[in-house]
Amino acid sequence: MKRLAVLAVLLLLPGLLAVLTRHDPGPTRYITDDRGRALFLHGFNTSGSAKGDPEHLPWITEDDVRTEYDLMGTNFVRFLVQWQALEPARGVYDEEYLDAVAERVDWYAERGHHVLLDMHQDLYGRHTSPEEHSGNGAPAWATHNDGLPVESRDMWELVYLEPGVMRSFDHFWNTTGAHPGLMDDYAAAWRHLAARFADHPAVIGYDLMNEPFGGSLQGPDFEAGPLAELYRRCLTRIREVDQDTWVFVEGQAVGVNWGFPSALPYLTDPRDGEPRIVYAPHAYPLPMDLGRSYEGDSRETVDTSIRIWSDSVRVTAERLEAPIVLGEFGLDMSGPGAGDYVRRMLEETESMATGRAYWSNDHDGWGPWADEDLTPGPLVEVMSRAYPRAVAGRPVEVSYDAAGFRLRFTERDGVSGPTEIHLPAHAFPDHELTVDAPAGWTSDWDEERRILYVDIPRHGAGTEYAITVVPA
């Protein structure tokens, strides 16, 4: 891991210095629904267990989805799928696997979740070594390590530096020139997946590749080169069958996850109408990735890292002209200051007016559950917080603390429907609502789903409204 850190610093320090001296970002953009409302996405990755599952599926059942919603009010899931499961043989797609994915997507749809299908990979795939001891993602037929070794490591990230893993990535990105068709195969797989889910009302997006790694090609040369080219090919193939779903892109994992800026270039969306591309970075602040906790003197260092990460993300999103959704963040909840760190990241995403997906909802020390019976662990109360599910305008301020929930937004043309606010039962056993708006607004409360609907008549673009909810 330390070797990866040094590599990132050497490659990306010039870009970091540019962030620290940059101008303020331009207007924030938002994912919107069919009514034009800005959507706030709050939920989990589902799930790390899919990486090692023989069927490549997460551990969840329909009852588990219901429990997650009832305890934490989530409206978003980043659902892991894998290329090796989708296309076990070249050009042959596993429809039974897609049926199983669709069944689970339906479970989330029943609870009103937005589903992001994430083509997940770590260490390229298990087939980089004969023992299949590390990684997930790519099928055997798409893996070419040229017989180079891949040793297992106690710190799994170091396996990225193994010769066989590096060579497998180099072949995929066509750095070697020996297997030029692999990126096209990958884009074709995305076309097949998108064709299957294009009309599913719960599927909000496609995350094209989890934590891309460039092999021997790193930094701007990788992101502006083969990574951007892969994204263009995937966008082209997806838009052949799906014009509406949002497409999520990530920068390279090394460095960018820690707060260094990405070099991804602007990507043209070939759909009819306004582009629907989302920047979906991950956040693992470098001090914590190197073992520091969120307490004492290191807390200030981590906070500084988070602020740098936030500025870097805004710079990239401005260049991409894209909304932001934090695709992964989290840590072992048994560590000191863990709950405060997660709360800090939730507040940061709210200040950025962006969505977030915690990693992950598994039964390990990172997840919300104390055991496989879904006994709530310490993460449940932290993730169970008031947030705006949908805002009927342009959000200006979102904040939540012990005193209550506050939202300010301005009216935009072409928006209809109410603003929706989730209010957790532990913080709002009952509530009082104040709306700073001209007369005529109405509200409705769904006790079972813990959603407050506030409908404000339109008074002209740019009009500002404020909603405050406090415990009664």
- Read off the pLDDT of residues 272-327 as tens digits, 9 standing for 90 and up: 999 999 999 999 998 988 889 999 999 999 999 999 999 999 999 999 999 999 99
Nearest to 356 by CA among 333, 380, 378, 323: 323
Q: In whole angstroms, give the CA distance from residue 120 to residue 123.
A: 10
Q: Strands 203-207 and 246-249, how do they pair?
A: parallel
pLDDT band at 26 (very low <50, low <70, confident <90, very high): low
Instruction: Indicate the helix (H) or strand (E) that contains 278.
Output: strand 277-279
pLDDT band at 383 (very low <50, low <70, confident <90, very high): very high
Cβ contacts of residue 455 below 8 Å, gap of 6+?
Answer: 392, 417, 418, 419, 441, 442, 443, 444
Q: How many CA atoms lie within 13 A of 230 on its CB side?
A: 30
What is the widest separation between alpha-carbon atoms in the chain?
73
| Cross-strand bridge partners of residue 388 | 421
Q: In whole angstroms, give the CA distance from residue 200 to residue 176.
A: 39
Q: What is the DSSP letter of 141?
A: G
SS3 letters across 45-56? EECHHHHCCCCC
- Read off the pLDDT of residues 166-225 as tens digits, 9 standing for 90 and up: 999 999 999 999 999 999 999 999 999 999 999 999 999 999 999 999 999 999 999 999
Could you give the dihedral angle defined by the CA atoms of residues 260, 266, 270 and 275, in that order, rounded to the nearest 10 degrees? 80
Residue with tokens 């405060």, as numbered in its chain: 340
- If you count them, how many residues does the chain have? 472
Q: What is the DSSP letter of 240?
A: T
Higher pLDDT, 25 or 270: 270
pLDDT band at 20 (very low <50, low <70, confident <90, very high): very low
pTM over 0.75: yes
Q: Strands 114-119 and 76-81, how do they pair?
A: parallel
- Read off the pLDDT of residues 99-128 as tens digits, 9 standing for 90 and up: 999 999 999 999 999 999 999 999 999 999
- Read off the pLDDT of residues 428-465 as tens digits, 9 standing for 90 and up: 999 999 999 988 999 999 999 999 999 999 999 999 99
pLDDT band at 27 (very low <50, low <70, confident <90, very high): low
Cβ contacts of residue 255 below 8 Å, gap of 6+?
Answer: 7, 8, 9, 11, 12, 219
Q: What is the pLDDT of residue 15?
A: 47
**Structural domains in the chain, sorted by start:** 2-21+41-384 (3.20.20.80), 386-472 (2.60.40.1180)
Average per-residue pLDDT in the chain?
94
Q: Where are the alpha helices (DSSP H) in 25-161?
A: 62-72, 83-86, 95-110
How many other CB atoms sit within 10 Å of the CB of residue 24? 7
| Token pair in block for residue 48 | 């790390």
Distances (CA, A) of 249 to 47, 323, 419: 19, 11, 28
| Cross-strand bridge partners of residue 115 | 77, 203
Strands (E), 337-415: 355-358, 387-391, 394-401, 404-410
**Phi and psi (nearest 5°) for 162?**
-70, 140
